[in-house]
C-alpha cells in the first residue's frame, strides 16, 4: 500500500503536469491569437494601400484633364482615360476591404459620390475642350473644391486606418510578450518538476525497483525539459529576428518617406509653379532630383549591407588610394582636426572594388570626425597582416590567410562595449536626430564581408576608436589596374550615325532611356522584350550598342546578349538593372568583360557609360 508521502508526491506531480499542460495549451492559444493580430495588421496595411491607389487614380485623372485643357495635346488623355475607366474597380476593391468597418463604409460611400461627381465634371470639361468651348472659371473652382473634399475624406479614412494599425500592432506585440511569459513559466515549471522528481527518487533509494522507476521518470523529464528549452530558444531567436527586421523596416520606411516627401512635395510645387514662376519651378525640380539621389544612395547602402551589390574588383595599390583620400580630407574635414597617414612600405596588393574601398574609408573618417566635436587627430594606416587559425576560430566568417589592413583611428569620445557590439547593425546610431542614418558602418561591414574580408572595432570610452578593415591579399598578375577615371565637364555625345538598341520591358523606363539617348544625339531603336529585340537586330542594318535590361520575362538580358552574339559576335552590350540577381554577377562580383550601369542613372552617367562601351573602354566597371 502506498505511503501518504508517496501519495502526496504523486499528487504534486499530477498538479505540476497539469500546470505544464495548461502553459502549453496557453502558448498555443496565444500563438493563434498573435497570428490573428498580425492578420489584422496586414489587413489595415492593405486598406491603406487601396486608399493610396484610389487617390493616385483620381490624381492621374485630374492631371491628365488639366494637361489636356492647358495644351490640347491628346496624349494627356491617356492617364486620364486609364484612371477614369479603372476608378469603379478600385472603389469596389476599397469597399470590399473596409466591409468590416461601418464608419469607413460611410466615408467610402461619400468618396464614391464625390469621385463620380468630380469625374462627371472632368468629362464635361474634356468634352467642352473637344468642342472648342471655353471652360468657365467657376466650373474649375468647383472642381478644385470637389478634389479637396475627396483628398480630405480619403485622408480621414487613412487616419482612422493608421489609428487601427497602431492599436493592432500593439495588440500583436502584447501577444508576443504573453507568449514569452508563458514559455518562461513552462521552463520554470519543468525545472521545478525535475528538481522534485530527483528529490523523490533519493527518498526511494532503498527500494531497487522504485529507484529504477524514478530514474526512468527523471530521464523522461530531462528529455521534456530539453525539448521545451529548445522550443523556447527557437522562439527567442524568432523574436530577435523580428526585432531586427522591425528596426530595419522602420529605418527604411523613415528615411524613404522623408525622401519621398521631398520628391513628391517638390514635384507638386514645381507643377504648380511651372507656368507662373519657371525659376521657382526649376528650384523645386532640383530639390526633387536631390531627394531621388538620396534615395538611390540609401538603396545602394542597403544592398551593401545585405552583400547584394555588384562589385567590380581591380588589382589595386591601397596606399595610392589612401594617399588620395587623405589629401582630400585635409582640405575638407576641418581646421581643428589633424589628418595623419602611416603607409606601409612593400604593401601587398588587394583585389577589391576601388570605389567601395574609398567609400568605406570616407565613412570611417566621417564617423571619426563626428566623434571628435572639439577637434583631435585622425590617423589612417596601412599594413600587411596575417590572420591565423586561432583568430579565425574566434571570429565568425573569417578565413585564415594574408590580408591588406587599412585602419582608421580617432581620438574621440570612444564607445562602450555594448555600443561597439551593435555598431554594424543597420539604422543603429548614437548620433542625434538628422546627424546620421545608421547605415555607414553597416555598409562598410557588408562590402568588406562580400569582398571576402574582415572588419573589427576597438574602442575605449574617453580614449578613442580604431576600425581595422582587412582586405584579402591579391596574388595574381603584377600589373596594377588604373583606378583613375576622368569626369568630363560635359556629357559625351554620339558620333555621326551611331545606333543604339534599347531593350526594356517597363514602358516608362524604356521611353526615358530612349529620350535620353536621343537627347545625346544617338539614333535609337527600341524593343519591349528579348524576342522583339532579336527581330529588330535582324532587320536593322547597323547597331553599335545593345543597351538591355537584365531582368525580363521569358528571356533575360544576359541570354539575349549571348544569343545575339551567336549571329553578331562583335556586338557591344551594356547591361542595366535595379537588381542584378545572378545573370552577370557571381559570388558578388561582376563577370569579366561585362559593362554594367545600375538603375537609377542620370543622363550624364548614361552618356559616359555608353561612350565608354562603344569606344571599348567600359567593361567590368559599374557607373
Confidence of residue 103 (pLDDT cuts 50, 70, 90): confident
| Alpha carbons 107 and 420: distance in angstroms, whole number | 51
User: Torsions phi, psi of 313, nearest 5?
Assistant: -75, 150
Residue 520 contacts residue 604 (beta carbons within 8 Å): no
pLDDT at 256 over 60: no
Cell representation of residue 81:
482615360
pLDDT at 227 over 90: no
| Alpha carbons 249 and 257: distance in angstroms, whole number | 12
Are residues 54 and 164 located together in one domain of the fold? yes
What pLDDT is recorded for position 438? 52
Cell representation of residue 153:
475624406
The pLDDT tens digits of the residues spanning 230-240 come to 777 666 655 55
Are residues 106 and 181 located together in one domain of the fold? yes
What pLDDT is recorded for position 524? 92
What pLDDT is recorded for position 546? 93
Choosing from 203, 221, 252, the residue where a domain stops is 203
Q: How much helix, strand and coil, in percent to the nearest 5, is found in the chain? A: 60, 15, 25
CA 488, distance to chain mean position in Å, is 31
Question: Looking at residue 338, which CATH number applies to its domain?
Answer: 3.30.565.10
Confidence of residue 591 (pLDDT cuts 50, 70, 90): low
Are residues 433 and 521 located together in one domain of the fold? no
Are residues 366 and 459 located together in one domain of the fold? yes
What pLDDT is recorded for position 545? 93
Please check whether residue 290 lies inside any domain of the structure.
no
Confidence of residue 269 (pLDDT cuts 50, 70, 90): low
Please check whether residue 410 lies inside any domain of the structure.
yes
Are residues 41 and 108 located together in one domain of the fold? yes
Confidence of residue 307 (pLDDT cuts 50, 70, 90): very low
pLDDT at 246 over 60: no
Longest dimension (CA), the chain: 111
Are residues 507 and 392 located together in one domain of the fold? no
Least confident of 175-184, 260-269, 401-410: 260-269
Choosing from 203, 222, 237, the residue where a domain stops is 203
Q: Which residues pair with 459 in a beta bridge?
A: 465
Nearest to 116 by CA among 91, 79, 142: 91
Please check whether residue 489 lies inside any domain of the structure.
no
Are residues 557 and 447 located together in one domain of the fold? no
Please check whether residue 227 lies inside any domain of the structure.
no
Please check whether residue 623 lies inside any domain of the structure.
no
User: Torsions phi, psi of 456, nearest 5?
Assistant: -140, 140
What pLDDT is recorded for position 433? 47
| Alpha carbons 609 and 596: distance in angstroms, whole number | 8
Are residues 458 and 509 located together in one domain of the fold? no
Are residues 187 and 58 located together in one domain of the fold? yes
Cell representation of residue 213:
522507476
Question: Looking at residue 573, which CATH number applies to its domain?
Answer: 3.40.50.2300
Structurally, the chain folds into a number of domains equal to 3
Least confident of 41-55, 272-286, 349-363, 498-512: 272-286
Least confident of 331-335, 439-443, 526-530: 439-443
The pLDDT tens digits of the residues spanning 202-219 come to 776 567 677 677 888 888
Are residues 28 and 137 located together in one domain of the fold? yes
Are residues 428 and 524 located together in one domain of the fold? no
Neighbours of 455 (CB within 10 A): 21
The pLDDT tens digits of the residues spanning 142-161 come to 777 888 888 888 888 888 88
| Alpha carbons 219 and 209: distance in angstroms, whole number | 16
- Mean pLDDT of the region 196-202: 71
Percent of the chain predicted with pLDDT > 90: 6
Please check whether residue 482 lies inside any domain of the structure.
no
Please check whether residue 487 lies inside any domain of the structure.
no
What pLDDT is recorded for position 484? 46
State which H helix or E strand residue 573 sits in.
strand 573-577
The pLDDT tens digits of the residues spanning 376-422 come to 888 888 889 898 888 888 887 788 888 999 988 888 888 877 777 77
Choosing from 144, 179, 203, the residue where a domain stops is 203
Give residue 455's domain range: 314-472
pTM tops 0.85, yes or no: no
Least confident of 320-329, 333-342, 485-494, 506-515: 485-494
Q: Which residues pair with 471 in a beta bridge?
A: 404
Please check whether residue 161 lies inside any domain of the structure.
yes
Collapsing DSSP to helix, strand or coil, 136 comes out as coil
Q: What is the mean pLDDT of the chain?
A: 77
Are residues 468 and 516 located together in one domain of the fold? no
Amino acid at each position: 500500500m502506498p505511503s501518504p508521502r508517496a501519495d502526496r508526491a504523486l499528487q504534486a506531480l499530477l498538479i505540476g503536469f497539469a500546470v505544464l499542460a495548461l502553459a502549453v495549451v496557453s502558448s498555443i492559444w496565444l500563438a493563434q491569437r498573435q497570428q490573428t493580430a498580425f492578420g489584422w495588421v496586414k489587413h489595415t496595411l492593405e486598406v491603406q494601400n487601396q486608399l493610396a491607389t484610389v487617390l493616385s487614380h483620381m490624381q492621374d485623372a485630374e492631371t491628365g484633364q488639366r494637361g489636356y485643357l492647358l495644351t490640347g495635346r491628346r496624349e494627356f488623355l491617356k492617364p486620364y482615360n486609364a484612371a477614369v475607366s479603372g476608378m469603379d474597380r478600385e472603389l469596389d476593391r476599397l469597399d470590399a476591404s473596409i466591409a468590416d468597418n461601418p464608419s469607413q463604409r460611410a466615408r467610402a460611400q461619400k468618396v464614391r459620390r464625390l469621385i463620380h461627381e468630380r469625374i462627371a465634371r472632368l468629362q464635361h470639361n474634356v468634352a467642352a475642350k473637344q468642342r472648342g468651348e471655353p471652360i468657365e472659371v467657376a466650373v474649375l473652382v468647383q472642381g478644385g473644391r470637389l478634389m479637396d473634399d475627396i483628398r480630405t475624406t480619403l485622408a480621414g479614412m487613412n487616419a482612422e486606418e493608421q489609428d487601427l494599425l497602431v492599436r493592432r500592432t500593439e495588440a500583436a506585440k502584447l501577444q508576443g510578450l504573453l507568449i514569452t511569459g508563458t514559455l518562461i513559466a513552462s521552463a520554470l515549471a519543468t525545472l521545478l518538476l525535475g528538481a522534485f522528481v530527483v528529490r523523490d527518487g533519493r527518498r526511494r533509494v532503498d527500494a531497487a525497483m522504485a529507484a529504477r522507476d524514478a530514474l526512468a521518470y527523471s530521464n523522461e523529464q530531462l528529455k521534456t525539459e530539453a525539448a521545451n528549452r529548445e522550443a523556447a530558444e527557437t522562439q527567442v531567436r524568432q523574436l530577435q529576428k523580428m526585432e531586427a527586421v522591425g528596426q530595419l523596416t522602420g529605418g527604411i520606411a523613415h528615411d524613404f518617406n522623408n525622401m519621398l516627401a521631398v520628391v513628391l512635395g517638390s514635384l507638386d510645387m514645381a507643377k504648380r509653379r511651372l507656368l507662373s514662376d519657371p525659376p521657382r519651378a526649376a528650384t523645386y525640380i532640383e530639390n526633387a532630383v536631390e531627394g531621388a539621389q538620396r534615395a538611390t544612395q540609401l538603396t545602394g547602402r542597403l544592398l551593401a549591407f545585405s552583400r547584394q551589390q555588384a562589385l567590380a574588383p581591380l588589382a589595386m595599390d591601397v596606399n595610392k588610394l589612401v594617399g588620395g583620400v587623405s589629401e582630400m580630407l585635409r582640405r575638407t574635414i576641418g581646421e581643428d582636426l589633424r589628418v595623419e597617414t602611416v603607409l606601409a612600405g612593400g604593401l601587398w596588393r588587394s583585389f577589391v572594388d576601388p570605389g567601395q574601398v574609398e567609400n568605406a574609408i570616407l565613412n570611417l573618417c566621417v564617423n571619426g570626425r563626428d566623434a571628435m566635436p572639439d577637434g583631435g587627430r585622425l590617423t589612417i594606416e596601412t599594413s600587411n597582416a596575417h590572420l591565423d587559425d586561432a583568430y579565425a576560430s574566434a571570429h565568425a566568417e573569417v578565413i585564415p590567410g594574408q590580408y591588406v589592413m587599412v585602419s582608421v583611428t580617432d581620438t574621440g569620445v570612444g564607445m562602450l562595449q555594448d555600443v561597439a557590439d551593435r555598431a554594424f547593425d543597420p539604422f543603429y546610431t548614437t548620433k542625434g536626430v538628422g546627424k546620421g542614418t545608421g547605415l555607414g558602418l553597416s555598409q562598410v561591414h557588408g562590402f568588406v564581408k562580400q569582398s571576402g574580408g574582415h572588419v573589427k572595432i576597438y574602442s575605449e570610452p574617453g580614449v578613442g576608436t580604431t576600425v581595422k578593415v582587412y582586405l584579402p591579399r591579391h596574388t595574381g598578375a603584377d600589373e596594377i589596374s588604373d583606378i583613375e577615371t576622368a569626369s568630363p565637364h560635359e556629357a559625351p555625345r554620339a558620333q555621326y550615325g551611331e545606333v543604339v538598341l534599347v531593350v526594356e520591358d517597363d514602358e516608362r523606363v524604356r521611353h526615358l532611356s530612349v529620350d535620353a539617348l536621343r537627347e545625346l544625339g544617338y539614333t535609337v531603336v527600341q524593343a519591349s522584350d528579348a524576342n522583339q529585340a532579336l527581330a529588330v537586330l535582324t532587320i536593322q542594318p547597323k547597331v553599335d550598342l545593345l543597351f538591355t535590361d537584365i531582368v525580363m520575362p521569358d528571356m533575360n538580358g544576359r541570354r539575349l546578349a549571348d544569343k545575339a552574339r551567336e549571329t553578331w559576335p562583335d556586338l557591344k552590350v551594356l547591361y542595366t538593372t535595379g537588381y542584378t540577381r545572378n545573370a552577370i554577377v557571381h559570388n558578388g562580383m561582376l563577370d569579366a568583360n561585362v559593362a554594367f550601369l545600375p538603375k537609377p542613372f542620370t543622363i550624364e552617367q548614361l552618356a559616359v557609360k555608353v561612350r565608354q562601351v562603344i569606344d571599348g573602354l567600359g567593361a567590368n566597371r559599374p557607373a
